[in-house]
Structure 1
Amino acid sequence: MSQTTTINRAAIYADPGTPKIEVLELPIPEPGPGEVLVRLLYSGVCHTDYAFCTNGFPHLPVPTQKGQIGGHEGIGEVIAQGTGVKTPQVGSKVGIKFAADACLACSNCLEGGETSCAEAKISGYYTPGTFQQYCISTARYLSPIPDGLDLAAAAPLMCGGVTVYTALVRSHVRNGDWVLVSGAGGGLGHLAIQYAKALGARVLAIDHGSKKQFCQSLGADEFLDFTMFQEDKDLSNAVLQITSGGARIGLMCSSSPRTYANALSWLGFRGHLVCLGVPEVEGSLTPSIGEMINNEITISAIKAGNRREVQECLQIAASGAVKTHYELRKLDDLGDI
């Protein structure tokens, strides 16, 4: 669409609580002080977008509002600057993340926990997101896109990619570690395999058998088809055998309650379980404190990374070590997606 147009096509959540989407023609917003206007080129679609649309996260403080523009994995070009903005410059390629802004001064922000800032603005949840052609963004919080990186491929990295990369880095992955990836053939999982390999780990991928060849093509060292195990203990025994006693890191890219119920049995001594997928029902993960103490197990969770982690994640992808598998679709197809 020409930059001289006055129309901004945007997909809104038409009836929160349901997946109903409407595409409207709205005015193009004007950037205020400290803001820029981004002409969006691509946006990824995340399961969290679906959860926002359907009010599928019961832990959120307020429900999604009708007319909300969703999306939080956007790549675009800066086309206008508000007062006081020097960078990014007009013409810069930038990324919009799960967190659209943060105060950068509170204790959470100072520890790198910008996505948990009390003043954070979340893209697509009470802040207009990336399911539109033109988006206002706080200039200081945009992420520059490295030269040579496929812009369409970069979009899912703004959430899915940085989330799995951050999970690996914060769980202190080491060269040669076994990293178990559940849901390995999915959006998060296929990126987790590649980032784990880029960081020197060995990968055990778990998914449906139809994903085996795909996961192996991404670099997975071993693959287990969970449908081939009638008993959960048999799958756990297979994991322990392959990894010589258990994985060092378990990335829960699947939201399956069954996966969470068995995840700790897949870890070895001082294993680290990282919760990423959000089960629809709480109570799936019920660890034995005694077993955790005996094996010195760590459980953590990641919602997304901070600005520094995004840049590291993008640089690895720009080097060619990580390639997003994606399909291009039109904005009008969002409801079906």
Structure 2
Amino acid sequence: MAGLENIPDQMLACQVVEFKKPYKIHHVPTPKDLQPHDLLIKTAVASLCHTDNMVREGIFQPKLPSTASHEGAGTVAAMGSAVTDFHIGDRVMAGLYLHACGVCGDCKADLPQYCQTSEGAIGVNTQGCFADYVRIDARTAAKLPDAVTFGTAAPLACAGCTIFRAIKQAGVKEGEWLGLVGAGGGLGHLGIQFAKALGVRVVGVDARDEGLELARKTGADVVVDARKGKEAVVAAAQEATGGEGVHATVNISEASSAAATSCAITRRHGLMIQIAQPDQVSVPFFELVFRNIKIHSSLVSSPTEAREMLQVVAEHGVRVTKNPVNGLLEIPNLLELAASGKMSGKGIVIVDPAQIELEKQIGATV
């Protein structure tokens, strides 16, 4: 293993120590038990995701204490004996999944996110990125293009990877229409930009003033307020698309009516991709049977898709609308903003300002 001799024994981390209780921000041992394919990343930026709240509430139940956040980016500080594609000092976006088996059908198909024997996702099933250092798997990590900043890369590790894969799965061609329900959120505003980069036209639906404004700002061709009701949303989508409806829709919203709305704005024989995670996904039979709407689900990108996504970000200047706080000790303030419903885009934590300053020297501006 290379690099461990320079790593401190203790680090600051923000952890779930008891479900349904506030985080504890304290010093813990630095993870130095690297397996052959591991990277130890010195965290530059970590990001807040809805799933973090699901862990804190005990919907996901890792062994406690568990360091939060599965969205992170930083610099390789040490690496395991089998790592060949990375070097100490490389700037990387953390891959979510740790120690997939490599031999099951999903792993062989470059879908380690579905491997049933992996250790799961960092920050969800294992220790995460709200810490000075995080242990990740080199096989799911991605080097950052020089243009892409840590502040952009961290939210992309889950939010970006999730919406990018969903849009790929939707299969909408250049010039066709994609619906995004929940278009003005952390995933949605990225989805608009990815779709536009691919030459796709977008109907964005949201139910918050902040979300509607962000959807407009990031380039949705049509923006519809879901608070006007399903019939008005469908009418707006059909007006934009010559009465047909969009070719496919991605549902990002957990609202109880969101899946039904997503299907309703989709044209007959079209496809709805469900990535939101409510307790139940409810769609009237009329949409499925009489309009032949197909429903697929999608998780996060494969490692190959994640690397492709970063190239799209670099080439097209995809921007993450960010709400930054400085340092792990400021996480409670970020949580307060998120709980207010007033957050526009993604909440991020600048863990190591020194790395932010260094990346400016290579021209990282996206």
User: Normalising by structure 1, what TM-score?
Assistant: 0.90
The C-alpha deviation readout for 1:31-76, integer Å capped at 9, x for no partner, is 243322211111111101111111236xxxxx33331112111101
Distance across 2 between alignment mates of 1:116 and 1:271 = 25
1:332 corresponds to = 329
TM-superposed deviation, 1:107: 0.9
- Tell me if the contact between 2:248 and 2:270 (Cα under 8 Å) persists in the aligned partners: yes
What CA distance in whole angstroms lies between the structure 1 residues aligned with 2:216 and 2:189?
Answer: 10
Match of 1:47 in 2: 50
Q: Deviations over 1:163-218 (max 9, x none)?
A: 11111111212011111111111101100100011111101111134433432221
Partner of 2:252: 253
Q: Secondary structure at the match of 1:159?
A: helix
Distance in structure 2 (CA, Å) of the matches to 1:312 and 1:197: 16
Are the counterparts in 2 of residues 269 and 295 from structure 1 also a CA contact under 8 Å? yes
In the TM superposition, 1:22-41 aligns within 5 A as: 22-30=24-32, 31-41=34-44
Q: Which residue of 2 aligns with 1:81?
A: 79
The alignment-based identity, stated in percent, is 27
Q: Give the counterpart letter for 2:42 in structure 1.
A: R
The answer as to 2:216 corresponding to 1:216 is yes
Match of 1:11 among 14, 23, 26: 14
Q: What is the SS of the residue equivalent to 1:189?
A: helix
Q: Which runs of 4+ in 1 moved over 4 A?
A: none
1:243 equivalenced with 2:246 (yes/no): no
- Deviation readout 1:312-337 (Å, 9 max, x if unpaired): 11001111331111122121232442
Task: Give yes or no for contact 2:76–2:89 (8 Å, CA) kept in 1.
Answer: yes
Aligned to 1:175: 174
> 1:86, 1:46 → 2: CA distance?
31
CA distance in 2, matches of 1:44, 1:255: 20
CA RMSD of aligned residues (A): 1.9
Supply the distance in 2 between the matched residues of 1:149 and 1:237 (Cα, whole angstroms). 39
The alignment partner of 2:56 has SS state of: helix
| TM-score for the superposition, normalised by structure 2 | 0.83
The partner residue of 1:286 within 276, 283, 297 is 283
Gaps of 5+ in 1: 58-62
CA distance in structure 2 between the aligned counterparts of 1:55 and 1:132, rounded to whole angstroms? 20
Is 2:264–2:287's contact at 8 Å kept on the other side of the alignment? no
One-letter identity of the residue aligned with 2:135: I
Instruction: Report the Cα distance in structure 1 between the residues aligned to 2:162 and 2:303, rounded to whole angstroms.
Output: 12
Return 5+ residue gaps in structure 2 as ranges: 1-5, 336-366
- Report the more deviating stretch, 144-153 or 290-299: 290-299
Give the direction of change, closer, same or farther, for the CA distance of 1:327–1:234 in structure 2 (3 Å limit): closer
Assess if the C-alpha contact under 8 Å between 2:76 and 2:90 holds in 1: yes
Using a 3 Å threshold, how does the CA distance of structure 1 residues 107 and 215 change in structure 2: closer, same or farther? Answer: same
